[in-house]
Amino acid sequence: MVEVKFIRLLTALLVTGTGVALILQASYQGCNDPTGVCYPPIEKTLSVPLVSR
């Protein structure tokens, strides 16, 4: 039996220091709730350019 959880994640980041970009990496896995079948894990990388003020 597979336990399926529904979670929303919201976070705030305080970025200090110097750099060109902030690299965010996330991994997650989706599942079909009625059948209990899970898909392979997915990894995503996002590069956010940093702008000086």
Confidence label for 3 from pLDDT (cuts 50, 70 and 90): low
Share of the chain above pLDDT 70, in %: 89
With 70 as the cut, is the pLDDT of residue 45 above it?
yes
Domain boundaries, the chain: 1-9+19-53
Q: What is the structure's pLDDT at 2?
A: 60
Q: Which residue has the higher pLDDT, 28 or 44?
A: 44
Q: What does each C-alpha distance from 49 to 29, 43, 44 come to in angstroms?
A: 27, 20, 16
Question: Model's pTM, two decimal places?
Answer: 0.56
Q: What is the structure's pLDDT at 43?
A: 95
**8 Å CB contact between 31 and 38:** yes
